[in-house]
Amino acid sequence: MVKETGASLPAPPGLPTGQEIVYGVRPEYLELTPERPDAFPGSVSVLENLGTHTLVTLETAGPLIQAVVAEGEEPALGAPAWARPRRSLVYLDGRLHT
Q: Which domains can be identified in the chain, with CATH numbers? A: 2-97 (2.40.50.140)
Q: In degrees to the nearest 10, what's the CA dihedral of 49, 76, 78, 86? A: -70
Q: What is the pTM of this model?
A: 0.79
pLDDT tens-digit profile, the chain (98 residues): 445 556 667 666 777 777 766 677 889 989 999 998 888 899 999 999 999 999 999 999 888 999 999 999 999 999 999 998 876 666 666 776 66
**Beta partners for 33?**
82
Class of residue 49 by CB neighbours under 10 A (exposed 0-12, middle 13-18, buried 19+): exposed
